[in-house]
Structure 1
Amino acid sequence: MLASNASLSGCAELNSALCAGAGEGHPGGGSLRTTLSPTGHLVVAVCLGFIGAFGLLNNLLVLVLFCRYKMLRSPINLLLINISVSDLLVCVLGTPFSFAASTQGRWLIGAEGCVWYGFANSLCGIVSLISLAVLSYERYSTMITPTEADSSNYRKTSLGILLSWVYSLLWTLPPLFGWSHYGPEGPGTTCSVDWTAKTANNMSYIICLFVFCLIGPFLVIVYCYGKLLYAIKQVSGINASLSRKREQRVLFMVVIMVIFYLLCWMPYGIMALLATFGPPGLVTPEASIIPSVLAKTSTVVNPVIYVFMNKQFYRCFQALLHCEAPRRGSSLKSSSKAATKAVKGVAVTGPRRTDDLLFMVASLGQPAATVPQLDPSCEPTIDLTKAPSSYNQPVVVVSLVAHFEG
């Protein structure tokens, strides 16, 4: 049995300041908190230990690769680094304290430490979520841009990173100034926004947090990647076998991103809503700790999905392991240049390298026979742009940028 009986003796295991808030007098403190059994705390501690260790290792490795290899220092990869930095801060500023609290079965750093923990983890968690949305928008906007992306222009990406931190601060600072508050969560070994308070002040904050920091980023991600998949289908006639492979790969990536986003964050959001709007005691300590642990697993999952499933980073990771220079992706220069000369007037150009990615621009306005086929061994990244203005005949041009790989 994970949960112990609800009693004041259980609450007494927590710091007195926290217990006072849980059992009496704390503004909007809700019902009396119960604690997990020693076995329950041990299970949580083991889970948090693994999450903290692997999250720290994965995100540190991302930063090492970024600093070690210049080919990774591109605007789009800077967004990935921002995600890794926010996840790394969670592993450093949050997970060790909740791990230590779980091993002891009580919160260890007092009421002020609880507020600090809740603020810091909420800030970094929302930065990670907003960065994922900014990343999806950056991929989408690059796809529809009429010109080639400038790999040396960090202005747009820097603004996106600044936006993610400022936006997160806008939603995590209010509890420090009276719009809701930070306090003990679940069995009392973690801290977050107080989900149990039934006041209008707290409930309005929870609704806004759910809509603007969870549902909003999710909708942006689904929309942008949905448009990206649609663009892939538009060029499926250029090279059927290559396009099917590309479409399946990107579809797999998008599905994985969406599924893990939902698995990591939606249970936590649903738990928060049930605790806020449901009857007292609806969300038990053992039920509330599971979504909290799942949310922390995002610090382990994000580097794997967004970085190590990226061919560019993976090549550098292999090079780091073998102490050698990273190999480049396949080049299409010779075959593409020959094809361009052979098909005059068709909007097909040679490859252009942006952010160390290969681009192919192919006209959909020409008969299929006039469009050169690529070497099956080559695997270009495709981008969506307009045809150069120098072409006189009207053509419909679709190209596609897959920043999922390098």
Structure 2
Amino acid sequence: MGNASETFLFVSKISKDSDFLMGTIYIIFGVLSILGNGILLFVAYRKKSSLKPAEFFVVNLAISDLGMTISLFPLAIPSAFTHVWLFNKTVCTGYAFCGVLFGLCSLTNLTVLSSVCWLKVCCPNYGSKFSYCHACLLVAGVWCYSGVFAVGPLSGWGEYGAEPYGTACCIKWDAPSQNSAAMSYILCLFFFCYIVPCTIIFLSYTFILVTVRGSRQTVQQHMSPQNKITNAHTLIIKLSVAVCIGFLTAWSPYAIVAMWAAFGNPTNVPPIAFALAAIFAKSSTLYNPIVYLVFKPNFRRSLCRDVAQCRRTLCGCQHSSAQKGTCNQSLHKEECNATRLSNGLPENHGTCRHCPCPEAVTGTRESFTEYSPQQTCRILKGSKHCEVAVSQLSNEIQSDFL
């Protein structure tokens, strides 16, 4: 491990019980993260031909979270259980580089995703023009943006080193007291990778909630009370709140502790504070897939269809031909239920299935893409198809956003 001073840096500075608890938590996080992100990527692969441009960011988020899990947890877990960093300084630098790269990629990805959602919901004129090419360019931009800050310490702008609690590595937060380059790096990191993303995410989802609230009021005015279409709006609100809470919960503790060490007296920061903050930050690897699997009907429906298909196959292998009919009928019913939107309405395939005159509303999305539900209702005011138009537009918002 090198000289005595270097060895001291790589020895745990928290109790063995705390290290054992941290290692156990990391094992749980690692298993859940691999399962959650693996399922998310599997669903995305199965529906790759129907992925929307905005969903590219959900896939990219799963890739970055999975990358963090695979590159960090196998090193952090044994080090925590043995109460000492088990690897040399080169591995420590690689660990820190991967942590910064994948962590910032997840942060930036959430920020870009919130901006795209704002564009599609609040500015449909421009949001409708968002294409696969735009999504690919933004995904590449996310990795480049994260790479700049990850490569910085390797080129002398900032510095990587052991975490204050000793069994992991990251940016040396006490470096600003030693040189101005490290101070400028941490200032830029804090501003461009925490303050700016927080602001963009908060404002994006605030504007989305305001827009959804106005749309919901219009729906309530023009549609029958028993219609469940407003549940789509409720789902959007829940997703918005969940993403914001998840972002702040995962990254705020680490940002606060890091700034305390960088611009205060590092010796006054308890090592256990950094250890707890690191646990919160790594929890984002399992929180993000849970949020999108729970609140994103498109992904959830695809997963339900795959599960139903697997059960149909197993059922067909285990039952006789006479029993197959009953089994397939039951599973067909289950699969049909799985394709229903979370608001209780069947998934639309071109036209409304329950409209008395489906041909009258065919192409509603194409005709009114540039209008909000409020504007569409004003255009169709007095028409029996106003309810259908608002319903389809609400479903379209849900489909694009969720």
TM > 0.5 fold call: yes
Aligned equivalent of 1:188 = 166
Equivalent of residue 306 in structure 2, options 320, 326, 351: 320
Alpha-carbon deviations, 1:279-310, whole Å to 9, x = none? 23221111110010110000000011123321
- 1:22 positional shift: 7.8
For residues 370 and 126 of structure 1, do their structure 2 counterparts lie closer, same or farther at Cα, with a shift above 3 Å needed?
same
For residues 89 and 231 of structure 1, do their structure 2 counterparts lie closer, same or farther at Cα, with a shift above 3 Å needed?
same
Kindly indicate whether the alpha-carbon contact (under 8 Å) linking 2:173 and 2:258 is maintained by their aligned counterparts in 1.
yes
The 1-side partners of 2:299 and 2:35 are apart by: 15
The 2-side partners of 1:266 and 1:90 are apart by: 18
For residues 381 and 125 of structure 1, do their structure 2 counterparts lie closer, same or farther at Cα, with a shift above 3 Å needed?
farther
- 1:145 aligned onto 2:124: yes
The worse-fitting range, judged by mean Cα deviation, of 210-219 and 239-248 is 239-248
Structure 1 counterpart SS, 2:400: coil
Aligned equivalent of 2:146 = 168
Kindly indicate whether the alpha-carbon contact (under 8 Å) linking 1:337 and 1:349 is maintained by their aligned counterparts in 2.
no
TM-score normalised by L of structure 1? 0.78
Kindly indicate whether the alpha-carbon contact (under 8 Å) linking 1:55 and 1:299 is maintained by their aligned counterparts in 2.
yes
Whichever residue aligns with residue 199 of structure 2, its letter is L
Kindly indicate whether the alpha-carbon contact (under 8 Å) linking 2:260 and 2:266 is maintained by their aligned counterparts in 1.
no
The 1-side partners of 2:237 and 2:90 are apart by: 45
Aligned equivalent of 1:226 = 206
Aligned equivalent of 2:357 = 338
- 1:157 positional shift: 0.4
Equivalent of residue 215 in structure 1, options 195, 218, 222: 195
Whichever residue aligns with residue 229 of structure 1, its letter is L
Aligned equivalent of 1:356 = none
Identical-pair percentage:
23
The 2-side partners of 1:368 and 1:339 are apart by: 18
Aligned equivalent of 1:7 = none
Aligned equivalent of 1:264 = 250
Alpha-carbon deviations, 1:168-200, whole Å to 9, x = none? 011111100111111000221110000122132
Kindly indicate whether the alpha-carbon contact (under 8 Å) linking 2:163 and 2:170 is maintained by their aligned counterparts in 1.
yes
For residues 371 and 269 of structure 1, do their structure 2 counterparts lie closer, same or farther at Cα, with a shift above 3 Å needed?
farther
- 1:148 positional shift: 7.6
For residues 147 and 36 of structure 1, do their structure 2 counterparts lie closer, same or farther at Cα, with a shift above 3 Å needed?
closer
Kindly indicate whether the alpha-carbon contact (under 8 Å) linking 2:120 and 2:401 is maintained by their aligned counterparts in 1.
no
The 1-side partners of 2:151 and 2:379 are apart by: 56
- 1:20 aligned onto 2:39: no
Aligned equivalent of 1:363 = 376
Structure 1 counterpart SS, 2:216: coil
- 1:75 positional shift: 1.6
Aligned equivalent of 2:330 = none
The 1-side partners of 2:132 and 2:47 are apart by: 17
Whichever residue aligns with residue 251 of structure 2, its letter is W
Whichever residue aligns with residue 352 of structure 2, its letter is K
TM-score normalised by L of structure 2? 0.79
For residues 352 and 365 of structure 1, do their structure 2 counterparts lie closer, same or farther at Cα, with a shift above 3 Å needed?
closer
Aligned equivalent of 1:77 = 55
Number of equivalent positions? 356
The 1-side partners of 2:29 and 2:50 are apart by: 26
For residues 174 and 339 of structure 1, do their structure 2 counterparts lie closer, same or farther at Cα, with a shift above 3 Å needed?
same
For residues 22 and 362 of structure 1, do their structure 2 counterparts lie closer, same or farther at Cα, with a shift above 3 Å needed?
farther
For residues 336 and 350 of structure 1, do their structure 2 counterparts lie closer, same or farther at Cα, with a shift above 3 Å needed?
farther
Whichever residue aligns with residue 382 of structure 1, its letter is S
Whichever residue aligns with residue 39 of structure 1, its letter is D
The 2-side partners of 1:61 and 1:402 are apart by: 20
Within-5 A mapping of 1:1-400 = 15-16=1-2, 20-21=5-6, 35-70=13-48, 72-143=50-121, 144-146=123-125, 149=128, 153-197=131-175, 198-199=177-178, 200-240=180-220, 241=225, 244-323=230-309, 327=339, 329=341, 330=346, 331=348, 332-335=351-354, 338=357, 341=360, 350-351=364-365, 363-366=376-379, 369-370=382-383, 372=385, 374=387, 380=392, 382=394, 400=397
The 1-side partners of 2:268 and 2:11 are apart by: 12
Kindly indicate whether the alpha-carbon contact (under 8 Å) linking 1:315 and 1:327 is maintained by their aligned counterparts in 2.
yes
Kindly indicate whether the alpha-carbon contact (under 8 Å) linking 1:307 and 1:313 is maintained by their aligned counterparts in 2.
yes
The 1-side partners of 2:44 and 2:397 are apart by: 25
The 2-side partners of 1:121 and 1:180 are apart by: 15
Aligned equivalent of 2:320 = none
- 1:318 positional shift: 1.8
Alpha-carbon deviations, 1:14-67, whole Å to 9, x = none? x445x62486xxxxx9xx986122111100100111111111111111111111
Whichever residue aligns with residue 350 of structure 1, its letter is T
For residues 351 and 138 of structure 1, do their structure 2 counterparts lie closer, same or farther at Cα, with a shift above 3 Å needed?
same
Structure with the higher helix share, 1 or 2: 2
Unaligned runs of at least 5 residues, structure 2: 311-334
The 2-side partners of 1:96 and 1:147 are apart by: 44
For residues 285 and 42 of structure 1, do their structure 2 counterparts lie closer, same or farther at Cα, with a shift above 3 Å needed?
same
Kindly indicate whether the alpha-carbon contact (under 8 Å) linking 1:106 and 1:188 is maintained by their aligned counterparts in 2.
yes
The 2-side partners of 1:245 and 1:401 are apart by: 10
Structure 2 counterpart SS, 1:207: helix
The 1-side partners of 2:137 and 2:217 are apart by: 37
